[in-house]
Each structure stands twice: as structure tokens, then as C-alpha cells.
Chains A and B, each alone.
Chain A
């Protein structure tokens, strides 16, 4: 089972053109297999977030090839990429990024409603299930901005899970949280990886966090130095 590649990056190069040309990613090549819990480590500015946005299909100006679920996504249309993001990728940001206008439950449901594979009732049930995993079911009907930071991040992870994505990507998901909440979030990821065999790719600069993962990809100056 572990042999099926979920995500493949081949020779990815990325340039920023800000008066002068700077190369931020140099020849990035790696593969993530199903069920792996991978962390990307590196100092600030080494290009790890940039890489993550390319891998998540949100950033499309790069050279090289990217395959998700064994099919190439490089150069595909924006609407195709939206569909991929909706169906196959769950995203957790450093800042929780919940929609303040919606309730917690609705926030979790929205990507599912967008996918449209399930009815509203079913989705509501499923969203409650996801919230229950993180002990957030009591807050389901609150507005998103009535929650604490740690709670918001847990809801964001529940949202990332709603469409049973192929892979969950996190951009410093615990970076903005205190030690206690950070541990909770890490615990959640760990549980997802071991109990549900969820594939995870988490960008972090927290050593402690990274050491708990199956595999660490270390980056420096836009290169992978070890994986």
C-alpha cells in the first residue's frame, strides 16, 4: 500500500522576478507515497512555503513537472486545478482562515458542498463526525470567530478532512499556537497518520514537531539537502 505515489515533484524550479531574477527553488525532486507523514524542514526563507504552494496547485508559475495521484497537473486549466484542490487536497494554514460569516459546522461542510458528491444531510453528519474526532462537536453551531486559536485550527483540520483527501498539506499549522495547542494539533496529525493512514505533508521549522514524523525533507537555499 505504501508504494503508491500520491504526489510526485520532478525537477521543480521557481524564480521570483523582483527587479532581479532570484531562483527560490532549485531542482526539487521527491515523491510522497500513500500513508506517509512527511515534514518539510528548513529555515525561514529557504523556499519551503513556496514549494508547498506549488505542490498545492495554487501557484502555477514554475518549471518542472508535478503529478498528483499519478496524473500530471502541470499546465492544466485553473478550473481543473480547483477541482483537484477541492477533491484531493486538504489544506491547513498557519492562520486558521475560517470563514467568519459561517458557523463552525458550515465551515467544515463548505468544501464538501462544493464537491457535491453528498447531500446536505449526509454531509452534516459527516462534518459532525469529523468535529467529534477533535472534540469540537459542542461548538458546531458557534460562529467561527467565537473560538480560540487552538479551536479554530482544529476546525480547520476537520475542514481539510471533509472530502477524504488524498493528502493533507499544512503550512506551519502550529506556528501560531502556544505549546499546549501546538501539541494538540501535532497529536491530531499523528493520530490521522497512524489510525486513518492519512497522507500528510507538513511544512514546519519546529524540530520537535518534525522529529515526530515518518520522514523529514530538509531544505536549504531552495534545495533539498536530505530526505
Chain B
């Protein structure tokens, strides 16, 4: 009852100064709209750019690294243990590229419940033969189904169908850059030479475009079986095992564990792509800073308007106090005014921000580099709406705090006598 009365008084005071109140609310609306739209847009871009690399990067990658054995015989020998080793320029020996016992490893990984999926891969260097010119390239033999499920491979196949890789013998999906150089159309047969000197003829069934130009000039894809056939190796021949985890954070520790267990080189995503995390964080930080600045500016607007209202309504405050309203009641009235401006302005702002996000989402954004993106990406994460809402309340409350305190300490005697 009593609170209802205070609310009624707050409402009447606002209606008496409707224009100013509206201006204050519009200030909040504007800043919340910008805040939500900006963060949604910024984060949509962030996620897209990160996805560009992170989606296609395995969380852990197992492979045999070509490097000299760290345990050289001379170091192990007891005879020379007290001698200085001056042997320099040690070369790696021709160790096998394929992963030893890969079937068992894949089996172990698939049984780990932290693992989302495993995709084996055969990676080999080739020369594409164009007339009498050879250009270097690399062919990845992939398990098409696993690659689609884990790394959205099909999203980047801009022409043709990724399934043709497993359905058509000796088929290849060429990198867009490589295909352009070779003037290879879909259905054409191209010729490639492996590092071992085997020449193979492969049928082009699609183009692959990642958005990273350097990659597209070199990379091409075949099925695992085709790649093994090119190399003349048996079906157990696998050069990489790519693992996708349920949680990306687990990658570094699991990479170390499994690397030691399998006695093989294991790279985790954090080590390989540390710079992406940093970039995302900084972009987020900037957009939050801009959004919060907007809110604070609108807070000053509310502060001004409330202050003005208090000067204008001194008589009202004095009379309320004389007829039995306490300082606390007056404080509540003005705090309510501030909060109502915040709630109404903020709510409208959130709705407009959502609409602005929808609008941006419709804007065409087509670029050669990003084949999967047709419109600007916007992230509609409810988190921004919650943060925006909470901040609009917080800033309006802060903006109302001092004026309300001032109003509550108005001395009615001074006002009444002063007339």
C-alpha cells in the first residue's frame, strides 16, 4: 500500500516532466541498443573468424615428427660418459612417416569419454603436373564422414559434393587456388606425381575453399584409400590422427598424457593457436568498454534530469515531508523514478538491440575469402542481453542515488519559510 503510494507519486512527477523523462529514457534505450547490437555483432564476427581456424583445427593432433633422435648412442655409452660430446649437425634418419599401431591408438582414443571423435588422415606431398610445369601441393587422404562430423569439411566444399570422394574411385577435391591455376573443371582428370615418383591420375569432383588463400593454393583432398593407393601403402598407413574433444580446455593436459602413452608427437590446439584466444579477448574487451561508456554517459543524462526535477519540485518535496513522508520515502520516490527510467529505457533498448541484431544479420556480406558466410554474422547470446539489462539498472540506480539522497535531505522548514 505504502510502496504503491510512493510509486504513484513517482509516476505523477515523471508525467509532470514527461519530455525530460522521455529524453532520459531514450538515452538509456539508445545506449542499451548499441551495447547489445555492438556486442552481438562483434562476437558474431569473432566466432566466425575463430571458427575459420579453430573449427578445422583438431584439438589434439598425433603425428611422427621428423627430427633427430634426442637419445644419441654416444650419450648412452658408458665409455664416453665423462667425455665432452662435440658431434654437431646430427641429421634425422629416415624414420617411418606412418603412425605405428594406429588402429589400436584410434581404438583407445574412441574409448576415452572425453573424446568427441577421431579422424585419421594421410598427408603426402605431391606435384601437380600441368603440361610441363609442376606445382607443389599436398594431398590429404581423409575419412570423409569423420571429417564432416568433426571439422565441417562439407561447408568448405564450394562446388561438387564431399561424398563423391568416397563414392568415386581416384577422385580428388582440389583447393580453389590450385584448381584455378590448373584450369581444372569438375569432371576433369588431373595428373600428380608423388614424392616417391609415382604418377597418378585423379578425377576432380569438387573445389575446396577455406578462406585462407595460401592453404587453398596447395591443399587438396582425397579419400583415405585413394591416398594410401597413391603412396602404394597398405590400409593401416596413417600419418596423422586428429582428435576433437568435448571440451577444448582439456587439450593441453590430454596431449601430454597421450603423447607419453603412445610415445608420439602430440600438438594441442592452445599451443598451436594461442594468438586467436588473445585476439578474441581483446576484441571483446573493446566492445564491452564502448558499451559501458555509452551506458555511463546516459547515466549522466539521468543524473542531470533528476537533479533538475528536484530543484523544480522542492515545494512538492517540502510538502510531502511536512505531511509525514520521511526522508527515506522521498529517497525511494526519486530512486524509483531513476529505476523506472532505467527499466523502461533498458527494456525498449533490449528489444531494439535485438531488432538491430536481426537487421545486421540480414545485411549481405559476401567475400571470396569466406565462402560459407552470406550475411553478417550476429551472435544472439542471451548473455549480452542479461549484461545489458543489469547494467542499465545499475547505472540508472547509481545516477539516481545522489539526487535521491539530496532530495531526501531537503529541509521542509527552509523551503516553506523561504517563500
Contacts and interface: CB of A to CB of B under 8 A. Distances in A.
B53 interface: no
B2 interface: yes
Interface stretch (A18-26, A35-43, A94-102, A187-195): A94-102
Binding site of B, secondary structure by majority: helix, strand, loop or mixed?
Answer: helix
Interface in A88-122: 91, 93-95, 97-102, 110-111, 113-116
B419 A85 contact: no
A132 interface: no
A83 interface: yes
B316 A91 contact: no
Nearest to B2: A116
B318 interface: yes
B398 to A, nearest CB: 25
B324 A49 contact: no
A101 B13 contact: yes
Interface residues of A, number: 31
Max chain A CB contacts within 10 Å: which of B319, B320, B417?
B319
Interface in A57-111: 58-59, 78-79, 82-87, 91, 93-95, 97-102, 110-111
B323 A91 contact: yes
Nearest to A162: B323
A99 B412 CA distance: 14
Nearest to B12: A101
Contact of A58 (B12, B322, B329): B322
A79 B328 CA distance: 8
A125 interface: no
Contacts of A59: 413
B308 interface: no
Given A53-B413, A99-B316, A116-B2, A82 B321 contact: yes
B322 A91 contact: yes
Nearest to A83: B324
Nearest to B324: A86
B323 A86 contact: yes
Contact of B323 (A79, A95, A114): A114
B322 A116 contact: no
B195 interface: no
A141 to B, nearest CB: 15
Contact of A111 (B1, B324, B413): B324
Contacts of B5: 110, 113-114, 116
A159 interface: yes
Given A53-B413, A114-B5, A97 B325 contact: no
Interface of B: 1-2, 5, 9, 12-13, 15-16, 315-316, 318-329, 412-413, 416-417, 419
Interface of A: 49, 53, 56, 58-59, 78-79, 82-87, 91, 93-95, 97-102, 110-111, 113-116, 159, 171
